[in-house]
Amino acid sequence: MRNTASAEEIAPLVLELARALRARRVHPSGHPVVAGALQRGAAILGALAGSDSQVAFEVVDSGLAQRDGTLLGCPGAPELAAELRARGITGMCLEGLIRVEDLTHLVETLTRAPEELRKAGGARRVFEAGQPRGISLELSEPAAAAPAPVTPPAPRPAPAAVAAPVTAPRPAEAAPPAKPAAEPPSFLTQHIAELVRLLAELERCDDFGGYNLLANKVDTCVDALVRAKRCLDGYRAAVVFCRHATDREVRPEPLRREAADRLRRMACNDAMLEAIIEQATTASGLASVQATQVLIAIGVPAVSALLAHCAGAKDASRERAAQTLIAMGDDALAAVVDELRCGVSERARRAARLLGEMQNPRGIQFLADSLRASDVAVAREAARALARVGTDAAVAALVAGLRLAQPVAETCASCLGGMRQASAARALGDLLDLERDFPDGLRREAIRSLGRLASIDALNRLKRVLDHAPFFGRTRFRSLRIAAAQAIGQIGGPVALQTLHPHARGGDADVRQACQEAIRRIERAAAGT
């Protein structure tokens, strides 16, 4: 007697079967995603067979369970249980060495519409017709109806002058109730089955006329499913159209254009588009990747909905939506710029961040204009976005921003500390000209940025600030001299030590302490501690 496999051993198999079923609904048989999942499932079964185990589970209300009642809480169990339950399958047993062909036949059986299986005699009959090895299904067969009692024919009444009184038949003699007619397939089941059939034909079609006719029928099925609030069932058509629209090696140009047009038409339905975005931002693994590819193929019509999702979703979902917008590139640029100009602070700041992450050179001018926005938070976010872009034009916009209002100018000075262009160092160095009148806060940001740039020219500029100790105004310049000492310590090296030592032995106590700390920092860095 074989030992039943544990829940931990069954879990990977359940997941691979669920993956294969999910992929088979949108891909043809033999697709690499389907084949890969089935090959992994066969390998898992091979390992279990090697340990003399049997895989058996039952369909219960809450999903799948082992024969001893242990519930399988692994990923994919609810999905696999739903597919089995819809086809009247109450249990499954797999034992011995199972071939990939047997698992393929099982998946092909489970992806057929329930009504189609009933017409063919049931899931068991269809499955066993393929002569699978080592896989058996348990089905909930309807009980056979008891034969109706046979009653002898009533004798003919003898002719009489007076008609016999009519009496009600006794209960035992009542005719058996008529057998109810078979329940017709549901509206949704018909449309889902029809959609699967049409998509399979669409995969094989390479004629533009035939493709167009099939696509019209697919649109009809999808519209019906969307009206019934079953958008995810219709979404499989979007996956197929997306693959056809982007498959340059197999599909000719007319078919790719037609598939792209059909995909954009589907995106005009708000409910369908929201379902695709939800799949891209909340699902995991292959499902999320496929939905993201669909959104990128849709392009411009999906941008506004993605921006709205960014505004109302949680952090992880918002981040995925933003990454999708970034992947869209030029298609998303115009809508993001409109969002930047919307006048709502939070939305404008989010749009500025997106433009920075997109790093699209065409967005630089819009960010530069936003540096002059009346909302300081938006202007500062635009400065940070320009720093992410990092091109010469972006640096020029940040340098120009040094002449704006002090909060924006300080942010621009801070952002220039990460730019390696020579123009950034020159602009920051000009702010340290002590003969010109610049706000102290702006100069402090320039000093910190020069410390991060760590160039020889920056060291010379910082040395002038540190050495500047006039008799009048010494208190005013103290904070700048301390910031210069810290920046010099950040740059490090022998020249920096020579600059700091004279001020570490005398003069202003606060400046002396800052120089001593900077010297210790340089020495620790040299010692590697």
The per-residue pLDDT for range 79-106, each reduced to its tens digit, is 888 888 888 888 888 877 778 888 888 8
pLDDT at 298: 93
Could you tell me the pTM of the whole model?
0.59
Cβ atoms of 64 and 72 closer than 8 Å: yes
pLDDT digits over 302-317, tens only?
A: 998 999 888 877 778 8
pLDDT digits over 39-75, tens only?
A: 888 887 777 765 456 788 888 887 888 877 788 878 7
The sign one gets for the Cα dihedral 379, 381, 387, 392 is negative
Q: How far apart are CA 298 and CA 305, in angstroms?
A: 12
pLDDT digits over 246-288, tens only?
A: 988 888 899 999 999 999 999 999 999 999 999 998 887 888 8
- Does residue 513 register a pLDDT over 70? yes
pLDDT digits over 451-471, tens only?
A: 988 877 888 889 999 998 776
pLDDT at 370: 95
Structure tokens at 14: 């359940």
Query: Can you list the positions of beta strands (E) in 327-431?
Result: none
What's the chain's average pLDDT? 83
| Close Cβ partners of 134 (under 8 Å, ≥ 6 residues apart) | 94, 95, 96, 97, 98, 102
Cβ atoms of 13 and 41 closer than 8 Å: yes
Give 143-159 as a DSSP string.
PPPPPPPP-PPPPPPPP
pLDDT digits over 154-190, tens only?
A: 444 444 433 334 444 444 444 444 444 444 446 678 8
The sign one gets for the Cα dihedral 36, 38, 39, 45 is positive
Residue 30 pLDDT level (bands cut at 50, 70, 90): confident
Residue 17 pLDDT level (bands cut at 50, 70, 90): confident
The sign one gets for the Cα dihedral 380, 383, 389, 390 is negative
pLDDT at 91: 86
pLDDT at 87: 84
Q: How far apart are CA 355 and CA 469, in angstroms?
A: 44
Q: Is 93 left (phi over 0), alpha (psi -120 to 50) or beta?
A: beta
- Does residue 412 register a pLDDT over 80? yes
Residue in this structure with the two tokens 């690499």, named with its chain if needed: 32
Q: How far apart are CA 417 and CA 424, in angstroms?
A: 8
Q: Which of 211, 168, 49, 193 is nearest to 114 (CA)?
A: 193
Q: How far apart are CA 104 and CA 35, in angstroms?
A: 8
Angle made by CA atoms 98, 99, 105, in degrees to the nearest 5: 100
Residue in this structure with the two tokens 């896989």, named with its chain if needed: 135
Residue 520 pLDDT level (bands cut at 50, 70, 90): very high
Crossing angle for the helix pair 330-340 and 300-312, nearest 10 degrees?
A: 50
Q: How far apart are CA 35 and CA 24, in angstroms?
A: 9
pLDDT at 404: 94
Average pLDDT over residues 433-445: 89
Compute and round to an integer the Cα radius of gyration of the chain: 37
pLDDT at 167: 43
pLDDT at 396: 95
Cβ atoms of 264 and 301 closer than 8 Å: yes
- Does residue 528 register a pLDDT over 60? yes
DSSP 152: P
